[in-house]
């Protein structure tokens, strides 16, 4: 273990610590959101642990190792999509290290298809947009608009509906983002 602390990272970058190479730094553009950076870090850590238990180097890039890892992910009860997210993170680390990795290798693809068949996948239907009738029902279930909680809930529902905002966009609003109607 070294007493030298790693160099500070640029804002938004992600460090993947490796035993085979020095630390790999994933630039901000490759892993934009905090959730993505967390997922990559978590996936890489789990993959390194799995490789250590198999006696393999994580950046060796073999489809057999990746297939074994995907099966272990499935055996741990992870969602069908999780191995694909993990493989994306693993692929990014390999690209940064300049190590070839074929995420479309037939053996790996067959294993991923088998996992999807065994575990099934969730339907990918889009939820229907809430119309005025649904909005009225939601407003009717809010606490009284004379209470702070009721006023807040009604305001969020009405602003979200009126501006056609997604949940993440609505929760990301700041007071400065909203102006009274007709004032600019």
Q: What is the mean pLDDT of residues 76-102?
A: 86
Is the distance from CB of 40 to CB of 31 less than 8 angstroms? yes
Using one digit for the tens of pLDDT, what is the confidence trace for 106-126? Answer: 999 999 999 888 877 555 666
Is the distance from CB of 104 to CB of 57 less than 8 angstroms? no
- The 10 Å Cβ neighbour count of residue 72 is 17
> How many residues are present in the chain?
184
Tell me how far apart the alpha carbons of residues 47 and 19 are, in angstroms, rounded to a whole number: 12
pLDDT band at 128 (very low <50, low <70, confident <90, very high): confident
3-state helix, strand, coil split of the chain in percent (to 5) is 55, 5, 40
Query: Domains (ranges, CATH) in the chain?
Result: 14-119 (1.10.150.130), 132-177 (no CATH)
DSSP H/E element including 25: strand 24-26
Q: Can you say whether the dihedral through the CA atoms of 102, 103, 104, 105 is positive or negative?
A: positive
Is the distance from CB of 50 to CB of 89 less than 8 angstroms? no
Q: Does residue 9 carry a pLDDT above 70?
A: no
CA 123 from centre of chain: 19
Using one digit for the tens of pLDDT, what is the confidence trace for 25-64? Answer: 665 554 456 777 778 888 888 998 999 999 998 888 688 9
């Amino acid at each position: 273990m070294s007493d030298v602390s790693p160099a500070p990272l640029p804002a938004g970058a992600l460090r993947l610590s490796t035993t085979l190479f020095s630390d790999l730094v994933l630039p901000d553009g490759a892993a934009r959101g905090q959730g993505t950076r967390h997922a990559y870090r978590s996936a890489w850590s789990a993959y390194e642990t799995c490789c250590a238990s198999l006696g393999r180097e994580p950046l060796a890039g073999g489809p057999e190792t990746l297939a074994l890892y995907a099966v272990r992910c499935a055996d741990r009860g992870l969602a069908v999509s999780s191995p694909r997210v993990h493989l994306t993170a693993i692929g990014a680390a390999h690209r940064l290290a300049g190590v070839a990795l074929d995420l479309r290798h037939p053996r790996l693809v067959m294993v991923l298809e088998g996992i999807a068949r065994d575990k099934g996948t969730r339907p990918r239907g889009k939820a229907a947009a809430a119309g005025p009738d649904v909005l009225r029902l939601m407003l009717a279930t809010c606490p009284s608009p004379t209470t702070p909680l009721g006023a807040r809930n009604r305001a969020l529902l009405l602003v979200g509906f009126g501006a056609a905002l997604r949940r993440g966009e609505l929760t990301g609003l700041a007071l400065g983002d909203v102006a009274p109607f007709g004032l600019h």
